[in-house]
Structure formats: C-alpha cells, structure tokens
C-alpha cells in the first residue's frame, strides 16, 4: 500500500503526520470517501465538488485545483493497483500550534489512502439491518451544518456507539425538531405505494453521492421521488426501507426500533434499485 501525503508517497508503516496537525488536535478539516469499481473511480468529479464546497465553508484553502487533485487521486489508484476498493481523501488545516486558531497553520495537509473496505457481511444485504433510533440528535444547521463532510464526526460516532451498545447494526438520527435526518453513516430512503422518499438535506441529511445516484435511478423503474420531511411513523409503516452510502452502497433495513419493516428482508423494489446501482457502477467512472 502506498499512501499520498503532501505530494510524497509512503508505506502504511511509514505514513505519518505531525501531532500538531489541527486535523488531529481539533478535527479541523474535510474528507471524502470514494469508491473504485472495475479500475474506475466512481463519480470522482461529484466527490471533489462536495469536498471543495465543504472546504470553502470552513474557510480552508486546499492549495491545489480540483483538476490537480483529481490527477493525484488517479495516480494513487494506479500505484495501489486495486480493481475495486475505497479511497479516503483527507484535507486538514495543517500543522500549527496547540492554540485553537487556524492562523498558526501555514498550509494544509493533504492525504490520499486507497484500500479495500467491506463494512457489512453479504447476508446483511439480503436480510437487512437492525436499526435503532438514538437519543443523540443530529447537529443543528446554525452550529455545524450537517450538509458538510468535515473531520468533526463525533456527532455520528456518539450515535453509532449508542446503537452498538444495544446490539443494533446502525443508528437513526433525528434532528432537533424530531424529523428523521439520516443514519449515523448513511442516508435513509423509504418506499411506500411506488413512491421513494428521503429526508431533505436541510433537515440534517448529508447530500450523499450514492443518495444522488439513487434519486436518478428511481424514475427508471417507475418510482416517484420526494425529498421531504419524514417522521418515525413514516418509516415504521414503509413497504421497504434502505440505507445508502459510499461504503455501504445500498443496504436494506429489516427492523427499526424492533418493528419489522415490510417482510423483514430486502424487498423487491430495493433489489431492483441495488441491481440498477450495480449496473451504474459498472458503466460509470473515471478510469486510471
């Protein structure tokens, strides 16, 4: 494995950043998780657009252009020679002092890691996940906008810990108003009466790249789509429910808070969407 750090390549054992890096000290930075399918990077441009939007929000100058960063990502992929895998692209504020102010950080730290990733077993994609609605609420927009993909992930981690302690696979987070926002690591969709619904991003959902792809796929199989307010009752009474994310891809939900969703397994429409998504990943992507 070769890891890119600020224009240089290191082995996994030798890849290091300073303990004074503000990404480590304060979670000050942004990141993207990107998938490789069949020696192509899936929706690289869309991921980079989101990365630069997040960086602009936190007033972080990445230091290179999107075109230069795209070239760097593809070169790291070539060096690691994986046909299928996962890319973690990280930009931190950089090395500074122990003080909170980013003024002490003269330049950012740019890291690109390519590796394999499988977060759920194959049977989970058939039998679905057990999900718990947790007490940890999604960050409010005027504190830290959840539409940004920053290194400060404690909100999601606390939700994940809460679900894990009760032996659930994933956590469902509500926003401060009690509407469904998203899972700890994924977006959520429900299907009812040939309508596909997902929480609007202004309610606390990340504008996921896989989420975007599913909203494109749905009309192809006759589904009406809706980005809206969802309550727990909407999910409890759904015909089918699934989560989406770069790492998880598309995975069904079989139970929420002990309540069976649909048949308790991947439903027929969810299976159609999964098949269509796999077809999309075989056809799209930036080759390296």
Asked if 36 and 178 sit in the same domain, the reply is no
**What is the pLDDT, as a whole number, of residue 109?**
98
Mean pLDDT over each residue of the chain, to the nearest integer:
97
Domain assignment of residue 209, yes or no: yes
**What is the pLDDT, as a whole number, of residue 73?**
98
Which range of residues forms the domain containing residue 95? Answer: 2-115
Does the active-site annotation cover 124?
no
Asked if 111 and 129 sit in the same domain, the reply is no
Asked if 130 and 183 sit in the same domain, the reply is yes
CATH code for the domain in which residue 279 is found: 3.20.10.10
Asked if 59 and 95 sit in the same domain, the reply is yes
Domain assignment of residue 288, yes or no: no
Asked if 175 and 100 sit in the same domain, the reply is no
- Compute the average pLDDT of residues 147-169: 97
**What is the pLDDT, as a whole number, of residue 78?**
98
Query: What does the alpha-carbon distance between residue 266 and residue 254 come to, in Å, rounded to a whole number?
Result: 7
Instruction: Report phi then psi at 125, rounded to 5.
Output: -75, -15
pLDDT in tens, 245-256: 999 999 999 999
- DSSP assignment of 230-257 equals --HHHHHT-SEEEEEETTTEEEEEEEET
**What is the pLDDT, as a whole number, of residue 214?**
98
CATH code for the domain in which residue 78 is found: 3.30.470.10
Asked if 18 and 75 sit in the same domain, the reply is yes
pLDDT in tens, 252-286: 999 999 999 999 999 999 999 999 999 999 999 99
**End residue of a domain, out of 115, 130, 161:** 115
Contact 245, 186 (CB under 8 A): yes
**End residue of a domain, out of 115, 137, 172:** 115
Contact 187, 210 (CB under 8 A): yes
Contact 18, 5 (CB under 8 A): no
**What is the pLDDT, as a whole number, of residue 130?**
98
Of the residues 103, 116, 149, 265, only one is catalytic, namely 149
Contact 129, 167 (CB under 8 A): no
**What is the pLDDT, as a whole number, of residue 246?**
97
Query: What does the alpha-carbon distance between residue 195 and residue 19 come to, in Å, rounded to a whole number?
Result: 49
Query: What does the alpha-carbon distance between residue 30 and residue 23 come to, in Å, rounded to a whole number?
Result: 9
- Compute the average pLDDT of residues 205-220: 98
**What is the pLDDT, as a whole number, of residue 137?**
97
Query: What does the alpha-carbon distance between residue 88 and residue 115 come to, in Å, rounded to a whole number?
Result: 8
Asked if 57 and 39 sit in the same domain, the reply is yes
3-state helix/strand/coil string of 203-225: HCCCCCHHHHHHHHHHHHHCCEE
Asked which of 45-49, 116-120, 131-135 is least confident by mean pLDDT, the reply is 116-120
**What is the pLDDT, as a whole number, of residue 206?**
96
Asked if 16 and 58 sit in the same domain, the reply is yes
What is the pTM for the complete model shown?
0.95
pLDDT in tens, 79-130: 999 999 999 999 999 999 999 999 999 999 999 999 999 899 999 999 999 9
**The total number of structural domains that make up the chain:** 2
Asked if 213 and 85 sit in the same domain, the reply is no
**What is the pLDDT, as a whole number, of residue 65?**
98
Domain assignment of residue 131, yes or no: yes
Domain assignment of residue 18, yes or no: yes
């Amino acid at each position: 494995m070769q890891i890119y750090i600020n224009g240089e390549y290191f082995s996994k054992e030798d890849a290091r950043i300073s303990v004074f890096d503000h990404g480590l000290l304060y979670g000050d930075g942004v990141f993207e998780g990107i998938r490789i399918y069949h020696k192509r990077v899936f929706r690289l441009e869309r991921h980079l657009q989101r990365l630069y939007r997040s960086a602009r929000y936190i007033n972080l100058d990445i230091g290179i252009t999107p075109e230069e960063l795209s070239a760097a990502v593809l070169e790291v992929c070539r060096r690691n020679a994986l046909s299928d895998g996962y890319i973690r692209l990280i930009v931190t504020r950089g090395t500074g002092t122990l003080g909170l102010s980013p003024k002490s950080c003269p330049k950012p730290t740019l890291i690109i890691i390519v590796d394999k990733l499988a977060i759920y077993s194959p049977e989970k994609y058939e039998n679905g996940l057990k999900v718990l609605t947790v007490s940890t609420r999604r960050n409010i927009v005027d504190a830290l906008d959840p539409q940004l993909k920053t290194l400060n992930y404690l909100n999601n981690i606390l939700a994940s810990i809460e679900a894990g302690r009760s032996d659930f696979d994933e956590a469902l987070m509500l926003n401060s108003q009690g509407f469904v926002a998203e899972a700890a690591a994924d977006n959520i969709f429900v299907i009812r009466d040939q309508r596909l619904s997902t929480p609007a991003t202004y309610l606390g959902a990340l504008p996921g790249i896989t989420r975007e792809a599913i909203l494109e796929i749905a009309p192809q199989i006759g589904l009406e789509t809706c980005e809206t307010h969802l309550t727990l009752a909407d999910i409890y009474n759904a015909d089918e429910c699934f989560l989406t994310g770069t790492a998880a891809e598309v995975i069904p939900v079989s139970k929420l808070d002990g309540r069976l969703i649909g048949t308790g397994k991947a439903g027929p429409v969810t299976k159609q969407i999964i098949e269509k998504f796999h077809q999309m990943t075989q056809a799209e992507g930036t080759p390296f």
